[in-house]
Structure 1
Amino acid sequence: MTDAIRRHDTTARGFASDNWSGIHPEVLAALAVANGGHQSSYGSDEYTVALQQIFARHFGDGVAGYPVCTGTGANVVALQALLPRWGAVITAESAHVNSDECGAAEKVAGIKIYPVDAPDGKLTPELVDRQTWGRGHEHRAQPLAVSITQTTELGTCYSIDEIRALCEHAHDRDMLVHVDGARLCNAAATLDAPLRAFTTDVGVDIVSFGGTKNGLMLGEAVVVLAPQRIHDIEYLRMLTTQLSSKMRYLSVQFEALLGGDLWLRNAVHANAMATRLAEAAGAVEGVRIARPVQSNAVFAVLPAEVTARLRRRFPFHVWDEDTGEVRWMCAFDTTAEDVDAFAAAVAEEMSVRA
């Protein structure tokens, strides 16, 4: 029994964010498994200890995974680990660490971000070099790291060769590489490749690994792929308020996600729903799919009045008010029926305009 009251309509569906979804039933069941009795706190519990072997299976021997509470926290911890106080990180202008985390990397971690305009959300070696100047000049924060998002905030996916080229380019310049992997599982589904194939094996040094967008209640992880170059994460995690006391509840969720194939099943499904939505909505006269659909995100351009009416029926975000671009996100629990109903609503509202 509980005094809690259900305060939302469980039949309501939206396309605003994959964060809006609930907890995957297998993850919810895992939380119950970990509950009961007493376990050591702050990460010395049996579940967190066992999780290290699961991370090793996906990313390679010698890696170390550190569960944290939030994605912003994971990025702050990871970037602090890469950089001295005078260091700077090069990112795409659209990167979450630059545009959507309230300046946390700069205000909390105390580092400088050098953004670069990347129209498709992806950095290249040439774009990185726009900000690598000033090395050794005491008046300029030193560009010592590169951060990319996989998949990007624009729904695009780096290829394995693109990440390898970036890592080689950065390392040749004595820079380290961070991947914001809030949707890393979606990238694996797109690339049809194991997680290590486009991280550890191509030279990435550290990853912020996302779980919340792929079925967890809460929880991300900082995964150190190059322990010979990156140290002291445990201190940085505590310093930045990301050390959970009852960590077993974070860790068991990752065990449910990564212990079998749930991580991939969820991501493949979410990506497939985005493809279905793009095909259905893109077939409506007057709707333009604005970007390649390479993950679980669809970007489209609609008339402003159509967008306003649609948002009263299905929540989603306006990406660019000037151009009319909107973003539709699919999640592990988005169904074909959800997609078809939304696509039908798009067609209906566009026909009203006509």
Structure 2
Amino acid sequence: MAVPLTPMLPTPGTLPEGPGWGFEFKWDGMRTLIATADGRARMIARGGGDYASAFPDLADIADQLPEGVIDAEIIALDASARPSFSRVAKRFSNRHPPPDLVRSVPVNLMIFDLLRLGDAEVVGQPYWRRREVLDALELVGERWLVPPWHDDGAGTLAAALDAGLEGVVAKRLDSRYVAGRSRDWVKVKAVDTGDVVVGGWRTAIRSLLVGTPNAAGTLTYRGRVGSGLTDAELGRFRAELAPSDACPFDPPPPGDHARDAIWTAPVAVVEVAFSHLTRSGLMRHPRYVRARPDKTAADIDPAAMDPGASDSGPIDPRAIDPGASDSSTIAPAAIDRSSTDAIASDPDAIGSGLIEPDGDETGES
């Protein structure tokens, strides 16, 4: 059974505009190519290793797909029913997990592409056609599903942000499946922005320690912001803000964040961008945007960064509506789509020819 050495990987970028693109949610999990044959499934990771033994709870996918190769993401949900890479890492770091680990950290499989069906390779077919065949297989189980794709990029990205997902992947509708990095797939991270108050800084690693006001009159710590902050900006804050012996955060930041910190009175406000808040209320992937001299600490809503404020319950990818029709059933007007049923029943009509990677690029997706 021929499978590519590495999966097709998206290139980081901005959200594409115009027709000719499909949009999928990006899941914060473990990428895997799953090859099924003879009643068993191999789960091939980015590095080429077979991790099937680490995920016995996904083995039954071979019953629904007796022989084929699919591209998917293995995810594990946290207590807020959001994908958590740290949780799925507990599973793939143990090739032979004890039963209690399988029970306590269950995983789910989000399937989004088809490379082979029976003896026919479909990697040479355009993305929309591969998805058409994949959807026709109706791969739905207790631990896996095929999330829909959409044609509204902005709406899909907004839905990803609202749901606390990592972002979206834009895919050219006419793109073939090419192992390795490709500009035909573009990953776009969902980001949120907010205003926070500076409570200190660290010079050694050029970062601000920031938080939001709380009912006790102190700051709730939200994280260390260094990305996007220039030496000149940090120098300006150091010149304008007076050092203080008192830590304005309650509780204080973790030890590794507070090491060598210089505290200051909570008066300066800055705007930051971040992907989402962790369960403990810390910003993930924070980035400095700009100073907000037009605002004071009193202008900041204490509930603006409540990690539970936007929790709308468990994620059901099939129920997230980006404001557009489900494009898994919509084709571009210029493309003549053949009958899905005919394709699924006659693999020889699909075509063949695995696309080899243009180079040896194996960077992270």
TM-score normalised by length of structure 1: 0.26
Q: Which has the higher strand share?
A: 2
Larger Rg: 2
TM-score normalised by length of structure 2: 0.25
Q: Which has the higher helix share?
A: 1
